[in-house]
Structure 1
Amino acid sequence: MDFNQHFCEKNQIAQGFLPVAMNTAANNGDWVSMKGYGRMAIVIFKAVGTPGDDPTISVKQASDVSGTGAKALGFTEVRKKQAATNLLAVDQFTKSTSAVPATNDTFNTTNGTWTNTDLAEQAAIIVIDIKAEDLDVNGGFDCIQVSIADIGTNAQLGSALYFGHEPRYPKDALDSMIVD
Structure 2
Amino acid sequence: MNKHFLEKNQVVAAIIPVDLQSAANNGDWVSLKGYGRVAAILYKAAGTAGDDPVFTLRQATDVSGTGAKALNFTRIDSKVGTQTGIGQFTTTTQAAANTYTDAVSAEAQAIMVVDIKAEDLDIDNGFDCVQLQIPDVGSNAQLGCALYVLHEPRNAKAVLDSAIVD
**Normalised-by-shorter TM-score class:** over 0.9
- TM-score of the superposed pair, with normalisation by structure 2: 0.98
Aligned residues: 166
Q: 1:87 aligns with which of 68, 83, 86?
A: 83
- The Cα shift of 1:89 comes to 1.0
- The Cα shift of 1:163 comes to 0.4
Matches within 5 A, 1:1-180: 3-83=1-81, 86-98=82-94, 109=97, 112-180=98-166
Alpha-carbon distance between aligned partners in 2 of 1:128 and 1:116, rounded to the nearest angstrom: 13
Alpha-carbon distance between aligned partners in 2 of 1:139 and 1:114, rounded to the nearest angstrom: 25
For residue 76 of structure 1, what is the amino acid of its counterpart? T
Is the partner of 1:23 in helix, strand or coil? coil
Aligned to 1:104: none
- Consecutive unaligned residues in structure 2, runs of 5 or more: none
Q: Which runs of 4+ in 1 moved over 2 A?
A: none
- The Cα shift of 1:39 comes to 0.4
Is the partner of 1:162 in helix, strand or coil? strand
- Consecutive unaligned residues in structure 1, runs of 5 or more: 100-107
Pairwise CA RMSD: 0.8
- TM-score of the superposed pair, with normalisation by structure 1: 0.91
Aligned to 1:103: none
